[in-house]
Structure 1
């Protein structure tokens, strides 16, 4: 027995030693790629020495004597901290993910190849202005200098992920940066999905008049009636337009419906500012990831210092400020996409119907290399309207008649895209008027650009706006026959057609993705907007005081009161509040009464520590599902976020919308109060099964966790605990501090789309401006800067946004000197 014990002890001890050695080796290899911030290195390709001071949050302050060297430095620091992220974005835009991840990403690569984003980026390079070409080339040189440094120094391939997915790293090219801008346009685009869901819903509803309820227009005049989708396209289509259930394709950059771009931005003129200077706040919303999409940086250009949020891979401060100008972006929701139903020639599938007869597709073959599998050859086809999309994406198979395909017209498919030139020019603009002129170069993605200089404010919709025929059959709201001349785009509108608001009398401009203008089609900008609720709260906060301060703008940016909750709860609970006798304990009736009592005293604040937001959110979700399930069948699963305007129309019985409350397949006629009560019971059962029956102990933050997940390693056992960042958060779908929920079971209220960047700029005292990143500067999960800003972000705190380099030096974590050899 003693011998057996000794051998067991030796085996266990040996296993432990081997385990420790293995972990140590993994850590050593992984840590080799951690960037060293405090060093001096000779660097070819620069015209003079560059100093990069990392402040205590690892934000680089790039001090250079020329713009070329400043952009070189930006490329270098991006590659130091986010090389894997940059290479992943480039591979995604190129449609080359399958070379690394195998068949899992074939659907993603197929879509990106069909969209042709990377070849279009290559074609766009010569159309950039001279200073942007210099910036692109210098930036690429900086990225490549870091790649060379990694290769020469054996620095762990630059990131731990490269050990797991070993692929050669090609040098960075100017076209790569333009391709990433186009990729972001794809991530922010949502009108394609809206057209598909509108078409599918039109097919599913027995009463076409009810389409205006479930997919309501933003309030305001001038909206024309829509045709029935079935009348637009030939051939049989199923009533419920069912599609096979499928998961979102791995690493697919297309956001699910409702999770495209968002954001808030608002500005105050000097006469509305307590300090006498202009104010600007901005929090662009994107899908949450680890690391964040955003990277904080400061550049010293010949025109002065520039600081703010950059996107690794792009040589520009996309949101931020210079010494004389500050700029912010929000998604404009301009309708810059149209789908077309293209009829195939039954005698020749290589032809499609055009206005003058059959036309040949523009076609070419593209080979997708796949790791551990045979390559796949894809035939890319284009019509005059745009690229032909695969039926497997966007649920297109549900709306495509037999013998037809679907093509896409989209402004981002321009081979003369000068959006990067506009972004670079914005950093060098001296005032609002100069910035407005530069902004005409934006093509896609379309944004609302909010600007301040030291004395004035402005807001403008930027991006190319399609010119549509006033006789367009669906006004761009539904997929339409591509062979009809009136449905086709007729070029782009002149840039002076883009709505612009300069130096308004009221001294305040802002955008929460709300409807900004009401013009008749085809100058309408859009029928579908991203917000009808947050703007109400924003208006109240802006007009609630005569003058504003940096602190009042921060307060508005972090506001968690839901105007939707304040509007809807009195409607859906009007027949339930304080009615009936006290029910016995432990009964569903008693639980309902407890929930209603909590909600009756609630002010609509979606605070992470409170139970009411969870009860409200679960109730509304169950209510919408009960309202639409019998009418839409399986399509109801796609309406996974509550639409407040729909619920309000139903409970106010606008144009007979209360008809949704009656369950058509039941013998009795249900009222809206019946459905509301049943939905509350549904919600409480779900809450009890998921979080427990003690309602007073519930926490919204337990359900509304921010999901900063690593796109690749986030699902890998064990590793996911190191690479994913999870945080309890306040806010919700309709609060200014927006935390868009997933809408998907089993965790429908997880926060998956929020402000990865926040900034507030005060030109009364510019160096008192503040900003924050949702995770940290580093993309290396072994770095302390991987998530060090995350808790500040969660608590609504910021770090200084100063151009004072001495302040950065005073608490720096390192100074890198790139010296000319």
Structure 2
């Protein structure tokens, strides 16, 4: 027995030692010396207390090569996952459940487009040289270091990263901005199946002549709704971040305490582990930038230095048209286009599937674009639905655009860089230390025939699906140094001075209105401190707007013991603090109102899609105001319900659900109890790996379309926060070295690393960290130094 115990002890000790060595071998190396090929001179990488690298190089190529190396050692698995998602290669490592996602991304044509683009790239341009050096740094790290833990778990084989991978990731970003896949099928269904009266709550022009001819079949509608569902789920199933919205503003020196411009930005992106942004301070003689980088991108998407800075928000212009093609009844490989039958192009691609045989896809393309319902295979309807997408139809030199934006220290340079962004549409909000502020809605906006409403699926057999060119960039929405002294961007519909219409899938103006109310107050001199309060504001006027016509009905319907709850709603200011009970009641009521009014007409599938669109946010207040809307009648009953009857049912069902879910003690209905954030890792979707890889749960304030946009999907309580500020940045150009920022989780994506989750609680508590830019601050806060040297 003693011998057995000794043997078991030795085994456990050895296992512990091996386990510790295994974990240690996977950790980032932030000190010492590493030799890299292709370096021209030594490079210093100093890491601060948050794990942010401060890179000092002697030339540009060495700087970007080093960035690739350090980015990879913190985020290699993220890079691997995002390229596989964009290129339709997830099923090879995650199995058949991701086949539907791979089919979608192959059908979108991102992979083929990126490969063709990479093949004709001019490798001599500064931006492409930067990309080549950066990718070399990634690949050198991958070649000489053990693979991340996730590679071992999933059986991923290392392979080089290429320019086509980076270009594919740009396509993923453009796709994640696109709301057309969810919205156009839903609204077309309302128009063609329910009629004009039902369309009125969406405030869209009614064009009966636009109804697709011949009409879509039941199988077509089922296929379109399935496609909408797949497009929504594709990224969330992979555990990667979806781009959703954003806030940004720039304030002129005339309105600030310091007398210099102030820049604020917080892009709204899906939460994940690791977070989307990788912070890095880059420098070589003649260049310096503190930037926020996406995986596989050498140039910063957000950045600043002592002279200038910028942030981005989603433009949310409609750069995708879904087009129903008319098939030749005598030849299913032909569609009617511009007065004649034309052949569909086709190609095949093969998808590797873990544990199963490869799947071969036949992908078709009409003159309008890829046939996207080919992604559904046998579940597709008989009508081919083509996709015209600006990302595939423009030159879109987005890498060159941001390379220039990383160096744009004047209005003219920033404007010229922004003009090169074709898709996805982005708002560039920019400021400099010289006193200028600017905003450019950057996108190539298609010119459609007069009277065409791209909110609906278009008829490919007519001229309405044709494009007449693109709007000149000078006619895009934009402002430079406006007299009012500030610029706001918050995803609402812009009104360009040119007077052109810019169709899009815009967010509620609630956030923009809230920011406008604060920033238009001439008695306030803006600084970093009161700007923090504005970024962290959890209030919204949307609640009062929606509740105003409903409260009289609810007061009549409420029982005696519900009067206190009605009073809470009546007196509530719309602030979504964690201790608010009214916020919980309101958000449950929002879902219940939509469900009781619309689910009977839409059916379960289309209703589930509708409440994932932005148009529902606009529709509900208009519905609440209109007592005569046909939506109020429940088609499943033999009587005709009016607004009062349906609102009463929504109120009672809301309280019933909350009592079942949270108990009868309404003191336990606080917002923080039902509104929580968990940062999910791709492997954290599988128990018990969630315990290791995920970060959270946290009770969080904020809500749907509050400035602190910690937002959830419309649905019944409880609510998991889906997206929110992916960073919060504040830069006062009186002294940009004192700029502030925060990462929602941590700088590192390496499990067990000290920077894996070290900022998560600070983020929830609304704290900020200094972004070191000056040499004195970098030196004083250096915790580790890594030297990269040329191979001798």
- Band of TM-score, shorter chain: over 0.9
Cα distance in structure 1, aligned partners of 2:186 and 2:122: 36
Q: Does the aligned pair in 2 maintain the 1:203–1:238 contact within 8 Å? A: no
SS in 1 for 2:360: strand
Deviation at 1:568, TM superposition (A): 2.3
Cα distance in structure 1, aligned partners of 2:59 and 2:281: 14
Alpha-carbon distance change, 631 to 28 in structure 1, aligned in 2, over 3 angstroms: same
Cα distance in structure 2, aligned partners of 1:532 and 1:487: 29
Deviation at 1:778, TM superposition (A): 0.7
Counterpart check, 1:227 vs 2:222? no
User: How high is the TM-score relative to the length of structure 2?
Assistant: 0.92
Alpha-carbon distance change, 351 to 553 in structure 1, aligned in 2, over 3 angstroms: same
Alpha-carbon distance change, 241 to 741 in structure 1, aligned in 2, over 3 angstroms: same
Instruction: Give CA-to-partner distance per residue, 1:730-755, whole Å, 9 cap, x none.
Output: 1111201112213356x662101111
Deviation at 1:629, TM superposition (A): 2.6
Counterpart of 1:146? 141
Cα distance in structure 1, aligned partners of 2:379 and 2:323: 11
Deviation at 1:800, TM superposition (A): 0.7
From 430, 444, 450, the counterpart of 1:464: 444
Deviation at 1:238, TM superposition (A): 3.9
Counterpart of 2:565? 595
From 253, 259, 281, the counterpart of 2:235: 253
Deviation at 1:612, TM superposition (A): 1.8
Deviation at 1:109, TM superposition (A): 1.5
Instruction: Give CA-to-partner distance per residue, 1:481-508, whole Å, 9 cap, x none.
Output: 2232342123322222211111111011
Write the mapping of 1:267-286 to structure 2, written as runs, cut at 5 A. Answer: 267-286=250-269
From 168, 190, 205, the counterpart of 2:179: 190
With 266-275 and 529-538 compared, the bigger mean Cα shift is at 529-538
SS in 1 for 2:357: coil
With 338-347 and 663-672 compared, the bigger mean Cα shift is at 663-672
Alpha-carbon distance change, 236 to 468 in structure 1, aligned in 2, over 3 angstroms: closer
With 380-389 and 118-127 compared, the bigger mean Cα shift is at 118-127
Counterpart check, 1:364 vs 2:347? yes
SS in 2 for 1:736: coil
Q: Does the aligned pair in 1 maintain the 2:87–2:111 contact within 8 Å? A: yes
With 556-565 and 94-103 compared, the bigger mean Cα shift is at 94-103
Cα distance in structure 1, aligned partners of 2:578 and 2:236: 29
Counterpart of 1:165? 154
Cα distance in structure 1, aligned partners of 2:34 and 2:322: 52
Counterpart check, 1:491 vs 2:494? no
Cα distance in structure 1, aligned partners of 2:376 and 2:258: 52
- Let me know the Cα RMSD of the aligned residues: 2.9
From 528, 540, 543, the counterpart of 2:517: 540
Alpha-carbon distance change, 640 to 300 in structure 1, aligned in 2, over 3 angstroms: same
Counterpart of 1:648? 621
Q: Does the aligned pair in 2 maintain the 1:120–1:414 contact within 8 Å? A: no
Counterpart check, 1:684 vs 2:655? yes
Cα distance in structure 1, aligned partners of 2:273 and 2:131: 26
Cα distance in structure 2, aligned partners of 1:19 and 1:691: 45
Cα distance in structure 2, aligned partners of 1:88 and 1:45: 27
Q: Does the aligned pair in 1 maintain the 2:672–2:701 contact within 8 Å? A: yes
SS in 1 for 2:719: coil
Alpha-carbon distance change, 731 to 345 in structure 1, aligned in 2, over 3 angstroms: same
Contiguous gaps of at least 5 residues in structure 2: none
Cα distance in structure 1, aligned partners of 2:652 and 2:352: 52
Write the mapping of 1:80-95 to structure 2, written as runs, cut at 5 A. Answer: 80-95=73-88
Counterpart check, 1:216 vs 2:203? yes
Cα distance in structure 2, aligned partners of 1:308 and 1:787: 20
Counterpart of 2:550? 572
Deviation at 1:170, TM superposition (A): 1.5
Counterpart check, 1:607 vs 2:600? no
Counterpart check, 1:179 vs 2:171? no
Counterpart check, 1:771 vs 2:741? yes
Counterpart of 1:29? 22
SS in 1 for 2:235: coil
Cα distance in structure 2, aligned partners of 1:483 and 1:576: 49
Alpha-carbon distance change, 120 to 743 in structure 1, aligned in 2, over 3 angstroms: same
User: How high is the TM-score relative to the length of structure 1?
Assistant: 0.89
Cα distance in structure 2, aligned partners of 1:129 and 1:798: 40
Counterpart of 1:754? 724
Cα distance in structure 2, aligned partners of 1:280 and 1:46: 36
Q: Does the aligned pair in 2 maintain the 1:121–1:179 contact within 8 Å? A: yes
Alpha-carbon distance change, 232 to 630 in structure 1, aligned in 2, over 3 angstroms: same
Counterpart of 2:783? 813
Contiguous gaps of at least 5 residues in structure 1: 1-5, 218-223, 581-587
Counterpart of 1:220? none
With 806-815 and 768-777 compared, the bigger mean Cα shift is at 806-815
Q: Does the aligned pair in 1 maintain the 2:326–2:336 contact within 8 Å? A: yes
Q: Does the aligned pair in 1 maintain the 2:91–2:99 contact within 8 Å? A: yes
Q: Does the aligned pair in 1 maintain the 2:554–2:648 contact within 8 Å? A: yes
SS in 2 for 1:390: helix
Alpha-carbon distance change, 363 to 637 in structure 1, aligned in 2, over 3 angstroms: closer
Counterpart of 2:414? 435
Write the mapping of 1:239-638 to structure 2, written as runs, cut at 5 A. Answer: 241-242=221-222, 252-253=234-235, 261-390=244-373, 397=380, 402=382, 404-414=383-393, 416-454=395-433, 455-472=435-452, 475-517=453-495, 523-546=500-523, 547-577=525-555, 589-634=559-604, 635-638=606-609
Q: Does the aligned pair in 1 maintain the 2:212–2:324 contact within 8 Å? A: no
Cα distance in structure 2, aligned partners of 1:625 and 1:132: 50
Q: Report how many residues are paired.
A: 779
Deviation at 1:90, TM superposition (A): 1.2
Cα distance in structure 1, aligned partners of 2:610 and 2:639: 26
Alpha-carbon distance change, 238 to 375 in structure 1, aligned in 2, over 3 angstroms: closer
